[in-house]
Amino acid sequence: MGTTQLESVPEPKYWHLRTVLSEALDSEFSVGEILPNERDLAARFGVARATLRQALEQLELEGRLQRRRGVGTTVAPPRVGVAVGSRRHTWPGSAEDAWQPVDCERAAPPAAVAAALETGPGEAVHVVRRSRMSNGQRVATELLHIPDAAVPDLTAIDAPSGAARARAVLRELQRLELEGQDRAVELGSARADDAKDLDRLPGAPVLVVTTRFFAGGRTAALSVATYRADTCRLTFGDSPDVEIHHDPEQRAS
């Protein structure tokens, strides 16, 4: 006997730091407050800056912190509840859709999308770009892929491009009877252009929501929506913005 085992399970420094900082955020800081800069914090805790940054990255991933180059690190507000998919199946663009059309172009989708749409490889489809705001901040961008076969009357549309054409395409889509839809959520990292839209750096964690819309016995549209993972909590079902919790660590007991 003798040595009362301290540190019998030595957790990594950055993980311990994360916990300490997390508790400090709960008790000593309020939303929007600016933290000391990384060099000061690292010195204060007696660790290298890289180690401190590992802890900050964790907290940012959990939506507790927000970091902006040239500005500083601030305490993030609780995640926004963003309603994804009502029970009722509706086409994009109908009723009070939270999305705003940005533009529309024709392009050949990547192989994976083409497969879901059952179009030939390299076959161009309509690609409607939309964005979604919440609390004055852009929280998601979407690419909506629609094969020609799904919207046959599109030749009559005059708007060559832009938001006007996007709206026209969506209008045509709504003439079809929606037979069902399908949804999947996974973790991804923001590509350069999505990152720019979302005011994040490339590689930022995002929640990718893929929705298939069925009509006429085929996939008539496929939506790939990219949500900021740091600021969004995706809600499904009846209540659009329920304040359940803001604790990615689930339980502390």
Partner DNA sequence: GAGTGGTCTAGACCACGGT
Partner DNA sequence: CCGTGGTCTAGACCACTCT
Within 10 angstroms of residue 184's Cβ, the number of other Cβ atoms is: 9
Q: Which of 62, 101, 126, 166 binds a second copy (CB under 8 A)?
A: 62
**Beta bridge partners of residue 189, listed in sequence order:** 205
Residue type, 174: Q
Q: Which of 17, 65, 213, 230 binds a second copy (CB under 8 A)?
A: 230
- Say whether 218 sits in a helix, a strand or coil: strand
Min. distance of Cβ 65 from DNA in angstroms? 9
The CA-based angle 81-113-125, given to 5 degrees, is 105
Q: What is the Cα–Cα distance from 197 to 213, expressed in whole angstroms?
A: 25
Q: Which of 49, 167, 171, 191 binds DNA (CB under 7 A)?
A: 49
56 CB-near residues (< 8 Å, 6+ apart): 21, 38, 65, 67, 73
What are the structure tokens assigned to 183, written together?
């949804």
Q: Say whether residue 201 binds DNA (CB under 7 A).
A: yes
Out of a second copy, DNA, none, what residue 171 binds, judged by CB under 5 to 8 A for its kind, is none
Q: Which of 64, 67, 79, 228 binds DNA (CB under 7 A)?
A: 67
Of residues 17, 18, 29, the one with CA closest to residue 75: 29
Q: Say whether residue 10 binds DNA (CB under 7 A).
A: yes
Q: Say whether residue 48 binds DNA (CB under 7 A).
A: yes
1 CB-near residues (< 8 Å, 6+ apart): none
Q: What is the Cα–Cα distance from 63 to 28, expressed in whole angstroms?
A: 17
Out of a second copy, DNA, none, what residue 37 binds, judged by CB under 5 to 8 A for its kind, is DNA
Stretch 112-141: interaction string toward a second copy, x if CB under 8 A = xx-xx-------------------------
Q: What is the Cα–Cα distance from 6 to 189, expressed in whole angstroms?
A: 39
- Interaction site with a second copy (CB under 8 A): 11-12, 15, 18, 58, 61-63, 79, 81, 85, 107-110, 112-113, 115-116, 143, 180-189, 191-192, 194, 202-203, 205, 207-208, 210, 212, 222, 224, 226, 229-230, 232-239, 242, 244-253
- Interaction site with DNA (CB under 7 A): 10, 12-15, 35, 37-40, 46-51, 53-54, 56, 67-73, 201, 203
